[in-house]
Chains A and B, each alone.
Chain A
Amino acid sequence: MKRITARRATATMLAAAAAIALVGCSDGGSGSDEKPEKLVVWTGQANEPGFGAQQEIAEKFEAATGIAVEIVPKPPAFAGDNTSLATSVGAGVPPDLYVMDRNSLPGQGAIGMLTDLGPLLQGEDADLLDNYLPGPVKTSSFNGQHYGLPLFATARGLYFNKTLLKEVGVDPAVLDPANGAPTIELITEIAEKLDHRDASGDYDRLGFVPWYSQAKHMTWNVSHGAQFFDEDTCSIPEAGDVQVQTFEYLQETAERLGYQDVQTFIATYASTPNSSPFFTGNLGMTIDGNFFIDALEKYAPDLDYGVTYIPVAEEGDPIGTYMGGWSVVIPRGVHSEHWSWELAKFFAGEEGQRIFETATQTIPTWTDLIDDPEVTGRQGLFSSMLEDYGIEFPPLPVTTPFYSAMDQAQQAVLLGESTPEEALASVAQQVNTQMQGYCPYTIG
C-alpha cells in the first residue's frame, strides 16, 4: 500500500509536468487578414537617427492605415546576432516585421525563420522587385526564394585628410576619384610618409591602417571581386586568390608597422566617445562607409578631406566597393502575413526609404531615390559608386559563422600566428562543415 501511494504520487507529478508541457506546446497561430490594432517591428537599427526615422515611418503608416506600429530596438550583441528573432519564432511569438542585416538574412531564411515572400510578391500587380537595385534584392534571398525587401544600402570608400597629405608633400589630387581607384602601392607609399612616432616611441600619427574601422577582410575581399562560393562543390574555397592576397597585404602591413603598436595607437587616439584618429588628424587615410560623412560633419566639421575608391591591388584592376545594408523581413508565424506585408512594402518602399535614408545618410535601394538630391545630396561620390561599382557578398546560409571565423583568422594573420593560407584553410574547414546541412543550393 505504501508503495502504491508513492508510485501514485510520482505518477501524478509526472502527469502534471506533462500537462504543463502539452499546454505550452499547442500552437495557436494562424494567418488572418483581419485588421490588427497594432503591429510590432523589431529593429537592429536601434541608434539615432535611424531609430527616430523608423518611428516616423511608423507614424506615417498609422496615418495611412489606422494601424499603430510600435518600433522596438533590438541592438545585435555582435555582428549577425539574431538570437531574439530565433527565440521569438521558436516560441511562436515573433514580431510582425524584423529589420535585419542582409549578411545574416539568407542564413535565417535557410533555417526557416522567415516567411517566403514569393506568394505575396505574386499578389502584386507590377513586379515590385524591379523598383529595387538588383544586388540587395539578391542578398535578401536564399536559394532563389525571396525573404526580404532591402531598406537601405551602404558603400565603402577611402577617406583622406588633404591637409595632412599636403604637410608631407603629397598633392591630394593624386587621390582624385577622376583618376580611378588608387593602387595599394600608392596608398602605402603615401602612408609611410605620414607614419610618425613620438619621443617615447609610440605612434602619434599613422598614414593608413588597413584593418581599422571598415577596412577589414570583408571590405577588401568583396571589393576586389573575390569568389566566396563554389556551387559545384557547394563549399567555400580553401584559399581563394583574392583572400590570400588580402591577408598577405594585412600581414605585411602589420609586420611593417608593428601590430601591437598600431593597436595601442588606435586605443589611444580613439579612446573618447565618438572619436576617431581621423577626426583629430592623427590618421591620414581611412576606409569607412558612406555613413561616416554624417559623423565627420558632427565631430570634425572643419576637416578638409576627400573621398576616393577602395584601393585596388594592381593598376587597372576593376573598381569595386563592398555593398552592405539592411532589409525588412517577415518572421515565420506572424499573426497576419497580409498586414505584415503591407507594412513591409511601406517600410522599404519609396516613402519609407525617403524618410530613413534622409535621416541616416544611407543610400536607397529604391532606384528612383538614388539620384534624388533631397535624399542623397550629401553623399558625394558614394551614391554613384554604389550604383556603378557596388558588389554584394553572396547570399550564403553560413555568413555569420563565416564572418566570425574570418574575423578570428584576420587576427591570427595580423598577429603573425598563422600564414594567410593556414588561416583561410581553417576558416574553410569550419564553415564547410556547417555548409553541408544546406547543400545543394544556388546563389542565383
Chain B
Amino acid sequence: MIDISTPAKRISPRRAGRSGGTRAARTARKLWDNVIVRAFLIVASLAFLFPLVWMITTALKSPADLAISPPELLPRDWTWGNFAEVFSYIPFARFFVNTLIVTVLTVLVTVVSNFLIAYGFACLDWRGRDGLFYTVLITLFLPFPLAIIPTFNLFSWLHWIDTFLPLIVPHAFGSAFFIFLLRQFLLQVPREYLDAARLDGASEWRIVWQIVFPLARPAVIAVAILAATKAWNEFLTPLLYLHSAENQTLAIGMQLFKSEFQTDIRFDLMMAASAMVIVPPVILFFLCQRYFIRGITLGAAK
C-alpha cells in the first residue's frame, strides 16, 4: 500500500540518498539534469501549451487575420471585440450560467453523499459492511455505457428530460471512485476521537459534521475539485438530456458554432468562446493546485 496520507507537497524530489557516487558521476548527473532534462521539459511544455496559446491568439484575430495563409501566431489587428461578440452570436452567458449551476449543485450533492457513504464504510462497524464495500469496488469497473439507455428511459418516465435533474441527481447516490477515495482517507481518522465523542453523548450526525468533516477537509476538497471539473466538462449527459436552447450547458450550446459545412465556422468566435470556457477550471487550478494533485494521486493510491 502506498501511504496515501503523504501530502501532495511532498511531490518535490527527495532523493538525497541517490546523489552519491564519484565526483565525476555527480558532475555528469548535474549536466544531465541541468541541460538535457531541462531542454526536454521546456520543449514538452511548449508543445503542451501550444494549443492553448493558439486558441487565445486566434480568439483575438480579425476576419482578415484569420484568412492569412500560411497562418501567423499573433494577430495583426488585435480584435478584443471577439469576446464580446460571442455573447451576441450565441447565448453564451446563458450557457455559462447553466453550466455553473449544474456544476455547483453537482459538487454539493457529490460531496455530501459520498462523504456520508464513505463515513458509513470507514467509521462505523456493522454487519455486511465489508461485503457491501466489495460491491462498491466491483462497480468501479462496470462500463458506464450500459446505463445510458436505461437511465435515459428512467428519467424520461420521471419527466426529467430537458431539466438539470438528470445531470445532478445521479451524483446524490455516491460514486464508487469517490467513496473509495474518501474512505481511504477516513480510515486514518483515529477511532479514539470518535469513541470519545460518542461517550460524551455527541450524536452521530454531529460527529460526522463537526469532527470528521473538518478532519477530512483535504480529501473533501480534492473530491469537490474532481467533481467540479468533471461536471464542467461533461458532454454526453447534457447532449442527451438538455434540449431547449435556454437549458443548454456550454458543452452542447457551443456546438452551435459547428455547421453542416465546416466552411461556415467562425473560428475566431469559436476560439474566444473556448478560451472563456476554460477560465473557471484554470482559476480553480491555480487556486488549489495542491488539492488537484492530491485528488489525482489519492485515487491512484491503491
A–B touch (CB < 8 A): the answer is yes
Using Cβ atoms and an 8 Å threshold, which residues of chain A touch B266?
Answer: 273
Residue B243 at the chain A interface, CB threshold 8 Å: yes
Find out whether the CB atom of B264 lies under 8 angstroms from the CB atom of A271.
no
Instruction: Please encode chain B, from 245 to 276, with 1 for each CB lying within 8 Å of some chain A CB and 0 for all others.
Output: 10000000001100011111110000000000
Which stretch from A59-67, A82-90, A217-225 is at the chain B interface? A82-90
**What interface size band does chain A fall in?**
20 to 34
Q: Is A272 an interface residue (CB 8 A)?
A: yes
Complex-state Cα separation, A91 to B166, whole angstroms: 13
A93–B159 touching, CB < 8 Å: yes
Contact between chains at A74 and B157 (CB < 8 Å): no
Q: How large is the interface on B (under 10, 10 to 19, 20 to 34, 35 or more residues)?
A: 20 to 34
Instruction: Given A270-B263, A273-B264, check contact A24 B158 (CB 8 Å).
Output: yes
CA distance A88 to B156 in the complex (A): 8
Interface residues of A in 251-275 (CB under 8 A from B): 266-268, 270-275
B203 at the interface (CB under 8 A from A): no
Assembled-state Cα–Cα distance A21/B261 (Å):
43
CB A148 to nearest CB in B, in angstroms, measures 20
Q: How far is the CB of A92 from the nearest CB of chain B, in Å?
A: 6
Q: A24-B158, A84-B243 are in contact. Are A75 and B256 (CB under 8 A)?
A: yes
- A213 pairs with B261, CB closer than 8 A: yes
Q: Assuming the A-B contacts A72-B244, A79-B260, A276-B263, are A271 and B67 also in contact, with contact meaning beta carbons closer than 8 angstroms in the complex?
A: yes
Contacts of A91 in B (CB 8 A): 155-157, 159-162
Residues of A close to B153: CB separation below 8 A: 90
CB distance from B263 to the nearest CB of A (A): 4
Q: Is A440 an interface residue (CB 8 A)?
A: no
Residue B18 CB within 8 A of the other chain:
no
B208 at interface (Cβ–Cβ under 8 A)?
Answer: no
Asked if A112 CB lies within 8 Å of chain B CBs, one says: no
Q: How far is the CA of A33 from the CA of B42 in the complex (A)?
A: 71
Contact partners of A78 in chain B: CB under 8 A:
260
Residues of B within 8 A of A267 (CB): 262-263
- Residues of B near A272 (CB, < 8 A) are 63, 66-67, 263
CA distance A415 to B236 in the complex (A): 31
Chain B residues whose CB sits within 8 angstroms of the CB of A88 once the complex forms: 161-162, 243
* Bound-complex Cα distance A425 to B40 (A): 52
Nearest Cβ distance between residue B264 and chain A, in whole angstroms? 6
- 19 pairs from A and B in contact (CB 8 Å cutoff): A20-B158, A21-B158, A75-B256, A77-B255, A84-B162, A87-B152, A87-B243, A88-B243, A91-B157, A92-B159, A93-B162, A213-B261, A270-B261, A273-B63, A273-B263, A273-B264, A273-B266, A274-B263, A275-B263
Residues on B lying within 8 angstroms of A by beta carbon are 63, 66-67, 69, 127-128, 152-162, 239-241, 243-245, 255-256, 260-266
Beyond the given A6-B128, A24-B160, A274-B263, please list 16 additional residue pairs across the A-B interface where CB-CB is below 8 A.
A2-B127, A21-B158, A24-B159, A25-B157, A72-B245, A74-B245, A78-B260, A84-B162, A90-B156, A90-B161, A91-B160, A91-B162, A93-B159, A267-B262, A271-B66, A276-B263
